[in-house]
Structures are given as C-alpha cells and as structure tokens.
Structure 1
C-alpha cells in the first residue's frame, strides 16, 4: 500500500479512556513518599530536600546522610541551588520531606520564638578552609547577641581577615541555622546578607524580642 493510501484515522478507538477518573487526593503524594522511602532504604538517595514556609519566604532544606547541608532562600532560585548540589555533591537527589521533618520543626519553633539554638546534625561539605573556621564559630554567638566581622576574624584565628569573614558569611550554605545574621559591622550597621537586608532585619528583630 502506498503512503497516500494509508488509513489516517484515529489510532485508538473512541471512548477508550471513558470512565477513567483523576487519582484520589493524596494518591500521588503517597506514591512519591513510598518511592522516597524505598530509595532511601536501598541507599539510592545522597541528597534529600524539601521546602518550608517561613517569615523570610519559602526556604529550601537539603540534607545528606551526615546532616543538613543547605538552607536556601527563594531569591537564590531553588532550582539553581539543587543543580549546584547535584554538581558538587551527587546527582542522586530526591524530594523526601519526611527525612527533613526534624529540621523543619526546629525552624518552625525558632520562628515562633520558642527555640534559641538548633540541634540538628550539620554537613559542612560545601565549605573549606578559613570559611569553614568562620562557620564553625558562628553558632557560638549567643541568641540575641551580635559580633563584628573583626571579632569573628579574631575568633577564627586570622584577626586581619575581616573581608574574608564577610565573604564566608555571604556564602554561608546554612543561613539561619548557622547564624551569620548575627555578624554586623563594627559601627553596628547590618552589613550584607545572603537573604537580603530585610531578612537580616527580621532575624535580628526576632531575637531581640
């Protein structure tokens, strides 16, 4: 049969999908949760992630088996953050909210004013050298207190590395949980912040209340 003589009618009979309904509410979510659990059980996930709402906007949380590895603001572009995690850590990334329930709960308590420190394991795989020294010091700055960039440089072992402290804070992969918002300029002004100046103001005001 020549091409011009081929039947061009519908490939599937009419009414084939008649009677089919949309999945029951929550079905896809439950299937996804089962997939995530199965993948985790077979050690097929290297990075789990979820998002949470906060007074600072929607936050992305990501964790490895060692601990929380990333907290990202919406303005950072969550898709870009996930791609960076795939490039730097592992492409085996899956949205698995339940694996981050504890971190999400502690953040909710913090923003509600009922938690002053975080008790979640942290993975500093994205930081090295002097930046890592700075980040390891930041949780020692008390809730409701601040330190200058110069103070942090001294505490991190390099008193003259004030600008490097600013760079470490600006590239902090775990903002809020690792409180770089508590680092301010020597004159008391805020300085820069990864989440923007308004986010830093909100956090300092929360802790001052």
Structure 2
C-alpha cells in the first residue's frame, strides 16, 4: 500500500486516523502550538506508517514525542489538504512509527504485545484524558463495563459520559476502549465501528472466552 507523500503537509485527525486528534499520555499538551489566539501556529512534523490486517489497514501517526493517532480501516493516510489546515507536515521518520508498528504486528499476530508506548496527544478535556488513562490499564483478555470504569475513575453513575469520552479516543488498541462493554454484556459502541470491536475482542478471545449469542457477549473474566 502506498503511504502518504512525505513532502506534503497534512493530516486527517485520528478518530480512526480520519477525524480525531490524539489523547493525553506522556505529553499532555501535545507537541504543536494550538492556542486560539495565535495568529501563526507551529508546523507539526508527523510521520505516518501502516499495518495490514484482515479488517483493513491501521494507520499510525507519530511525532518525535510519541504516538499521536491510530486509524482503523483507513484506506489512506490523512490527506495533504486536511493536514495543511491543521499546520501539519509529513516527514519520513521510521524511528517515530516503528515502535507502534512492531507492537501492532505482534498484536494482530495473536500475541499479547507490550503497548507501553510513548504518547503525544494534543486534545481532550481533563475528564476525557482521565478516562483514557484508566482505560489504558484494562488488561489484555479482559473486559470492563462502562459503569465499572466510571467507578474506577471516581465518578459513579457517569457511564454515559465515560462512553462519550471513549468515543473520542484517538489511539484505539493502545488505549483499549474495545474492552469496555455494557453491564449486561452487550457490546456497546466503538468509534471505528462494531465490526472492528468484534474483531479485536475475538482476537483476544483465547484469553477472554467470549461467546456471541443474540448479539451479546458472554464471558467469565472482567478487568
């Protein structure tokens, strides 16, 4: 598959890589200047790579500071026009994307990978970042309900708000929002589509022992 033109400036935000920026990890402020009052923004250099899966490619967007976005099933990297509007320029920097690429290749090969990757996430409210941070601790081969996750974050009863925050997660798999389901074991939502959520859960099924009866998951292990 052809990658992006590294001489072009651009990017589609990554909510898949298309619509969303990235979440807060080590660099919670992000590596680019985005102040509303700024007349001139810094140009943010971003490297892109992809990993092939049976569900389609997974695009990786990374800066020198870390992983910035993952796009599940995207047929192409964010366009140059869209990236220019965000003050982003593509560069060839394999060392920025290689750690994520290797981890994802292990993951899609059915292995439990080390996903303790550096993140460079530019967007997200303090609450959203907290949701992403706690979700990142949900272990491979386990699931958790939106309500239980809300309790862990310290906001019992905020399951809907937790779900909304997960819908803005810019780095799925690394922040494993696919492991968050409804309390009745129904699958819940997923920003990249339920086809992807089912695929990711089935990939971990050897550990999770989930069934798919009547559109609902049944399992014995929760995070």
TM-score, normalised to structure 2, is 0.66
Partner of 2:146: 149
Against the structure 1 CA distance between its residues 208 and 82, is the aligned structure 2 distance closer, same or farther, given a 3 Å change threshold? farther
Partner of 2:108: 111
Indicate yes or no: 2:135 matched with 1:138.
Answer: yes
Against the structure 1 CA distance between its residues 183 and 132, is the aligned structure 2 distance closer, same or farther, given a 3 Å change threshold? same
Tell me by how many angstroms 1:99 deviates.
Answer: 2.8
Instruction: Give the match's secondary structure for 1:132.
Output: helix
State which of 156, 165, 168 in structure 2 corresponds to 1:168.
Answer: 165
Q: Which has the larger radius of gyration?
A: 1
Counting only pairs closer than 5 Å after superposition, residues 16-95 of structure 1 correspond to structure 2 as: 46-74=45-73, 78-79=77-78, 83=82, 87=86, 90-95=87-92
Tell me by how many angstroms 1:178 deviates.
Answer: 0.9
Partner of 1:205: 202
Instruction: Give the match's secondary structure for 2:88.
Output: coil
Instruction: Give the match's secondary structure for 1:151.
Output: helix
Instruction: Give the match's secondary structure for 1:172.
Output: coil
Give the root-mean-square deviation of aligned CA atoms. 2.7
Partner of 2:119: 122
CA distance in 1, matches of 2:178, 2:193: 10
State which of 156, 160, 164 in structure 2 corresponds to 1:159.
Answer: 156
Aligned residues: 167
Structure 1 residues without counterparts, runs of 5 or longer: 1-28, 34-43
Instruction: Give the match's secondary structure for 1:106.
Output: helix
Instruction: Give the match's secondary structure for 1:46.
Output: strand
Contact 2:57 2:74 survives alignment (8 Å): no
Structure 2 residues without counterparts, runs of 5 or longer: 8-42, 207-223
Instruction: Give the match's secondary structure for 2:154.
Output: coil
Greater RCO, CA 8 A, separation 6+:
2
Judging by fraction of residues, say which structure has more helix: 1
TM-score, normalised to structure 1, is 0.70
Partner of 2:191: 194
Counting only pairs closer than 5 Å after superposition, residues 171-182 of structure 1 correspond to structure 2 as: 171-182=168-179
